[in-house]
Structure formats: structure tokens, C-alpha cells
């Protein structure tokens, strides 16, 4: 090779190497998750501000410094607090697990409910015929340990999360029973436990000389299974000859919007259930879905609401009223018309982000305002029900006389 050729080879080699470095670098970028692709290129000696602040705390604080996890959660909570939005919140892994179970309407568990006594202990109530009851757990047993983990004095959500787990897996609990606090051990296989959100019954009276059957339907919250539960309840009530419906949404704090739409669709033939307004998107129309069971349009409906009726429950109440399908009876509702999206994070925690506002079909904002009932009854729950009955009976009477 001539000197020139050698020189060229060296230059080519250097260029080629540089290119490879670049390709390698790009390769890394492709491997990295999307948000990491914009690479921060600055002197590596400087420290991020949060680390700087925490460094001072670690070096000088006289008390006990919390774990890194609690520090990170604190930082996230603090950042979210600057939004001034009470509904944009951070949820730690265990409360999130409980919440997720609730939203799904089912989980792997042993069929016990928890109650804390004045000593802060967890007192168990086994569900009749549930796995715990069958294993021998009794009402009043105090939970002592879960899979060898002895409950600390100030136990919380953690306890519920520990008892729950995948269906088919065993969990060993120890309980303290009776005045001598005898310690007993049970190993119980977790089964599918369903959270029921809908209860129903018929209320029979008369209108004039005619018998009058009202289908009463209470929805306690909106989980992924609520739509199906409402369908089944309405089917039963129709079969029982219901001529009118009383939907009880009192103390229903909301839940999944899709469940509220499905529940509404059992009572509404067509139309918009709610509008969803996002910051940077065209309005989303949530319309009535086609359902196998639907209440007839000539059957009067009363919806019971109170100050704890919120969010998805307000969507359902407002939709039925705006379409002139129902009268609202009770108290002014809570007024929460914002939509939160839940994002699960890598460590099982989650962030709930207010992503949209709801408008009723008549384009009324729900947020902060609440729904004023057509018939305001501030009395006892029984008085509200009695008033709803009156309304349904007079509506039925009108209908019957028109016939």
C-alpha cells in the first residue's frame, strides 16, 4: 500500500469507527423506552435538584429518614399537589390493589369482611358459605397473622391486600378466638369473590283498584360487573311484573363510566348518556348501548339521589332526567363531573389523573354544581322512598287513566 492509501485507510477506519459509535448510540436509543430517547447531555458531575435536597436531609436531619420509596412517593405527591386538583392523586401499591379489585368487581379472596375494633385489631366476619366460613373461621375472630406476617398495631389496607391473591392459591391465617384469645391456624384456598353492587326487590301496592308493582333497584357503585348485574336485576324485575322502577343511587360515589353507560342503557332507548370534554381532543359522545334487556318507555322511573351521589352515579341520574325518562327525588347531588384516568406505574402504585369533564346530555356541567332533584326531600331515607313511590303511583295513575 502506498502512503496515501495507508492514510486513506486510517481516515476511513476513523470515520467508520465514528459511524459505528453513532450507530451504537442510536441502537441504545432504540432500546430505551420512548421517554428516555431524548438524552440529557451535560456534565455528569452535577446533581439533580431533588437529589441535592435529599442529600442535605440525609446528611443533617436529626429524626429517622424514611425509606427511598416513601421519599419518591412524597415527591410525586408534592408534584401533584401543585396542580391544585383534589382528584389528581397518587395511590400506593396496596390501596391500589384493593381499588383495582373493587373496580373489577371480583378478586381472589377467602370471603371475610374486616372491621377494626377500638384496639385497632381486625375483627373478621366470614361470609356465609364462603371459603373462610367453610374452613372454620367464625364471626368475631381477631386476625393475628397472614402467611406468617404478624399484624403490626397500626395495620391498614396492607392486611386486606395480604389476604387477597390469585384464585386457587392458599393463604394461611392465624386468628385469636374468644376471651382466652386462643390462637388458631387456618389454611384456606382463595376463591373468586364477587363484589355485588346491585340489589333489587319488588314493592307491591295499588293504584286505584289495580295492583301496582314497582321494581326497586339499588346500585351501590359502578364496577366492571355492574352493567351485567343491572341487566340481570331488570330481567328479574320484569319477570316479576314491575310496572315502574325506583333506581336508588343514594350514597353511590361512582366508579367506571362504562358501567354507568351500560346501566343507563337498560332504561334508555337511544341518545347521548354524557359528553366528555378533553383539553386537546374533540368532544367524545358516550351513547346508549344496545342491551338485551330494556325497560319499556311507558314505565315511569324515579331516581333516588343524595349528597353522596357522585360522579358516574350523577352521569346516570342526569342522563335519565335530561331525556325526560326519570324524575330525581332526594337531595342535591355531590357535583363531581370530572373523569380520572388511572395509570398503573412500574411498582404497582398508580396515579389518577383528571383527564376530562363531563357534560350531561343537555350540556349542563356537573362539576362543582351537582344535580338539583326535581322533587327535593331532605327527610329520612324512608321519607324519600315514600315520596318516590307517590310520584310513581301518580304517574302510573295518569297513564292508566289515559288508557
Partner 1 sequence: MQTSSVKNQTKQIIALGILGAFIGALVFILGIAIGVAFARPGGLLDAGASPFAVSPSIAANPVAINDTAAEQGRQPSLNYALINDVLRRLRTQWYGEMPSSAQLTDGAIKGMVAALGDEFTQYIEPRFAKLLNEDISGVFEGIGATLRQTPAGGVQIVRTFPGSPAERGGILPGDIIEAVNGVSTQGLNSIEVAALVRGPRGSEVTLTLRRAGRTRPFDVTLVRERIEIPLVSSKMVGDGSIAYVSLFDFSQPASRQLEKHLKELLDKRPSALILDLRDNPGGLLSQAQEVGDIFLKQGVLVIERDYRGNKKVTRTTDRGIAQDIPMVVLVNGGSASAAEIVAGAMQDRGRAVLIGERTFGKGSVQSPQTLSNGGQLRITIERWYTPNDRAIHGTGITPDYIVNSAPEDLKEGKDPQLEAAIAFLTTGKTPPPTPIPTVEPARR
Q: Which of the residues 160 through 189 are near partner 1 (CB under 8 A)?
A: none
189 DSSP β-pair partners = 170
Stretch that binds partner 1, among 55-63, 105-113, 248-256, 326-334 (CB under 8 A): 55-63
End-to-end alpha carbon distance in the chain: 109
Among residues 61 and 114, whose Cβ is nearest to partner 1? Answer: 61
Sign of CA dihedral 341, 161, 69, 60: positive
78 binds partner 1 (CB under 8 A): yes
Which CA distances in Å does 347 have to 81, 117, 260, 393? 21, 32, 30, 54
| Contact with partner 1 (CB under 8 A) among 22, 189, 192, 240 | 22
Min CB(139)–partner 1 separation in Å: 37
Identity of the residue, 280 or 380, whose beta carbon is nearer to partner 1 in the bound complex: 280
- Judged by beta carbon, residue 38 or residue 292, the one nearer partner 1 is 38
Q: Is 6 in the site for partner 1 (CB under 8 A)?
A: no
The H or E element containing residue 353 is: strand 350-359
What 8-state DSSP symbol labels residue 63? Answer: S
Which residue in 7, 8, 13, 182 binds partner 1 (CB under 8 A)? 13
Which of 7, 66, 168, 211 binds partner 1 (CB under 8 A)? It is 66
In sequence order, which residues have a C-beta less than 8 Å from that of residue 199 and are 6 or more positions away?
217, 218, 220, 233
CB closer to partner 1 out of 13 and 149: 13
Phi, psi of 48 (to 5 degrees): -65, 150
The partner residues of 185 in beta bridges, in order of sequence, read 174
Binds partner 1 (CB under 8 A): choice among 51, 147, 383, 390:
51
By the rule CB under 8 A, 8 interacts with partner 1 = no
Gap between the Cα atoms of 229 and 255, Å rounded: 15
Q: Which of 2, 3, 62, 129 forms a contact with partner 1 (CB under 8 A)?
A: 62
What's the min distance (Å) between Cβ of 379 and partner 1? 25
Residue whose CB is less far from partner 1, 81 or 189: 81
Residue 46 C-beta: closest distance to partner 1, Å: 5
**Residues 324-363 vs partner 1: string with x where CB under 8 A?**
--------------x--x-x-xxx-x-x-xxxxx------
Q: Using CA atoms, how far apart are residues 198 and 233, in angstroms rounded to an integer?
A: 8
Q: Are 295 and 266 in contact (CB under 8 A)?
A: yes
How far apart are CB 281 and partner 1 at their closest, in Å?
10
- Does the protein bind partner 1 through residue 46 (CB under 8 A)? yes
Residues 172, 186 contacting (CB under 8 angstroms): yes
List the one residue from 7, 77, 192, 376 that touches partner 1 (CB under 8 A). 77
Please give the Cα distance from 221 to 216 (Å, whole number): 16
Amino acid at each position: 500500500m502506498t502512503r496515501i492509501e495507508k492514510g486513506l485507510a486510517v481516515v476511513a477506519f476513523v470515520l467508520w469507527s465514528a459511524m459505528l459509535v453513532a450507530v451504537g448510540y442510536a441502537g441504545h436509543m432504540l432500546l430505551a423506552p420512548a421517554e428516555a430517547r431524548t438524552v440529557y447531555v451535560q456534565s455528569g458531575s452535577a446533581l439533580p435538584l431533588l437529589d441535592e435536597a435529599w442529600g442535605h436531609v440525609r446528611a443533617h436531619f436529626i429524626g429517622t429518614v424514611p425509606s427511598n420509596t416513601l421519599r419518591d412517593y412524597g415527591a410525586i405527591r408534592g408534584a401533584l399537589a401543585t396542580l391544585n386538583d383534589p382528584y389528581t392523586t397518587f395511590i400506593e401499591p396496596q390501596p391500589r390493589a384493593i381499588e383495582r379489585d373493587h373496580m373489577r368487581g371480583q378478586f381472589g379472596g377467602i370471603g371475610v369482611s374486616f372491621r377494626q375494633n377500638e384496639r385497632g385489631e381486625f375483627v373478621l366476619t366470614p361470609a356465609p358459605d364462603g371459603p373462610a366460613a367453610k374452613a372454620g373461621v367464625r364471626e368475631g375472630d381477631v386476625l393475628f397473622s397472614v402467611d406468617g406476617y404478624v399484624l403490626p398495631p397500626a395495620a391498614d389496607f396492607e392486611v386486606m391486600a395480604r389476604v387477597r391473591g390469585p384464585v386457587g392459591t392458599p393463604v394461611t391465617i392465624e386468628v385469636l378466638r374468644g376471651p382466652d384469645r386462643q390462637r388458631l391456624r387456618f389454611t384456606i384456598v382463595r376463591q373468586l369473590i364477587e363484589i355485588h353492587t346491585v340489589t333489587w326487590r319488588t314493592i307491591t301496592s295499588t293504584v286505584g283498584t289495580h295492583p301496582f308493582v314497582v321494581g326497586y333497584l339499588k346500585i351501590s357503585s359502578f364496577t366492571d360487573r355492574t352493567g351485567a348485574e343491572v341487566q340481570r336485576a331488570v330481567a328479574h324485575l320484569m319477570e316479576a311484573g314491575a310496572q315502574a322502577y325506583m333506581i336508588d343511587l343514594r350514597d353511590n360515589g361512582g366508579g367506571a363510566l362504562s358501567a354507568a353507560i351500560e346501566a343507563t342503557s337498560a332504561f334508555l332507548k337511544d341518545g347521548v348518556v354524557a359528553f366528555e370534554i378533553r383539553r386537546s381532543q374533540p368532544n367524545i359522545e358516550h351513547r346508549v348501548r344496545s342491551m338485551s334487556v330494556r325497560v319499556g318507555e311507558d314505565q315511569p322511573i324515579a331516581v333516588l339521589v343524595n349528597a353522596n351521589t357522585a360522579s358516574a352515579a350523577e352521569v346516570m341520574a342526569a342522563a335519565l332526567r335530561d331525556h325526560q325518562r326519570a324524575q330525581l327525588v332526594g337531595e342535591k347531588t355531590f357535583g363531581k363531573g370530572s373523569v380520572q384516568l388511572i395509570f398503573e406505574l412500574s411498582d404497582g402504585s398508580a396515579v389518577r389523573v383528571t383527564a376530562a369533564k363531563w357534560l350531561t346530555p343537555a350540556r349542563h356541567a356537573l362539576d362543582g354544581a351537582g344535580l338539583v332533584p326535581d322533587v327535593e326531600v331532605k327527610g329520612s331515607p324512608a321519607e324519600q322512598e315514600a315520596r318516590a313511590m307517590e310520584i310513581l303511583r301518580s304517574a302510573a295513575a295518569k297513564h292508566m287513566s289515559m288508557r
